[in-house]
Amino acid sequence: MDLTPLTQWLDTSSRPFIISGPCSAESEEQVMETARKIAQTGKVKAFRAGIWKPRTRPGAFEGVGLKGLRWLRRVKEETGLLTAIEVANEKHVYEALKYGIDILWIGARTSVNPFTVQEIADALSGVDVIVLVKNPVNPDIDLWTGAIERISKAGIKKLGAVHRGFSTFEKTMYRNQPNWQIPIELRRRIPGLPILCDPSHIGGARKFIYEISQKAMDLNFDGLIIESHIDPNHALSDAAQQITPETLSEILSRLVLRSPNPADPKLLDELGELRQQIDVFDDHLIELLEQRMQIADKIGIFKKRNNITVLQSARWDEIISKAILKGQEKGLSAELIDTVFKAIHQESINRQIRIINNGIDVNKAD
């Protein structure tokens, strides 16, 4: 991907890069007390606080506005922490830069709109500041990549991405589905781009923060954004997912950091052999999928010839139920089986729809 050359603003040798602070700046006292306690942990690099809060419905707490920027400037002066806020339009950018904010992030509700992202990019033109782009609300890798490209084309070299999970209609234990394969694909597309994880917004509850943070570290993420508040239960926004600075310190001390590659060359050779075995099985999987789709094509021809609808709900329920049970017998998670088979089923449907609609002469079809 042709991006402005990235500046290595993040020291990967000292990962994770931690950004923490309250979901919302509520009062100067709350901001300063939280910042002091966070600074005392010795583990946090930047202090975050929401100044402008995009709420789903009017009437909810929408942030303190400009006066919060003065509080953040005081945080920087007294604690030495970098400061970070969300910007949702060009006016926010100008005000944040005026008060010397070090890190600006573009939220999920904003990154979904290319028009707004472009306005923010124009406001950032020629500015030397760290900019983080959260994934869009919907699981769209191209939309996320496009937002990053727009900021890059404005000349921003200190770029990063934030994985905060994706909205879903399905009821799950998390507030937002992690869909880890999407940030993994983003790293493949933009190898030098730092990626941070936001376990607070993925989990939606403080009980999930450690496990999600550890998963992010195991996937070699570069940092974490964790919401911390001196009195989480009485926070004016997202109370359930915030933790105290003391709990933050305890969670960070428990994280296990692993190296992406073994230091011993012999171990690297052993890992290479195991990866070769994986490659062989992947080749077999692709061949099996090809054969399966050939059968799906024949089923599509049969349905067209006999005027049968493509989607057979009862048949699909039977397939997925049997697959999940058999997968569990083999030690495979229901989530894996569900995800894989849904993708296969969707591809089969797409192929059959094309067969039905593209005018194939089924009487001559083999």
Among 277, 297, 312, which residue's Cα sits nearest to residue 356? 297
Q: Where are the domains of the chain?
A: 12-254, 265-357
Q: Is the pTM of this model over 0.85?
A: no
Query: Which CATH number is correct for 12-254, 1.10.645.10, 3.30.465.10, 3.20.20.70, 3.40.50.10330?
Result: 3.20.20.70
Reported as a single tens digit per residue, the pLDDT across 315-359 is 888 888 999 999 999 999 998 999 899 999 999 999 999 988 875
Average pLDDT over residues 32-49: 97
Using CA atoms, how far apart are residues 212 and 224, in angstroms rounded to an integer? 10
pLDDT digits (tens, 9 = 90+) for 100-142: 999 999 999 999 999 999 999 999 998 999 999 999 999 999 9
Helices within 105-180 (DSSP H only): 108-111, 114-124, 141-153
Three-class SS state of 21: strand
Length of the chain: 366
CA-to-CA dists, residue 12 to 8, 130, 222, 235, angstroms? 9, 16, 7, 33
Residue 362 has pLDDT above 70, yes or no: no
Q: How many CB atoms lie under 10 A from the CB of residue 117?
A: 23
Does domain 265-357 sit in CATH 3.40.50.720? no
Q: 47 pairs with which residues across the strands?
A: 20, 83
Domain 12-254 and domain 265-357 have a common topology: no
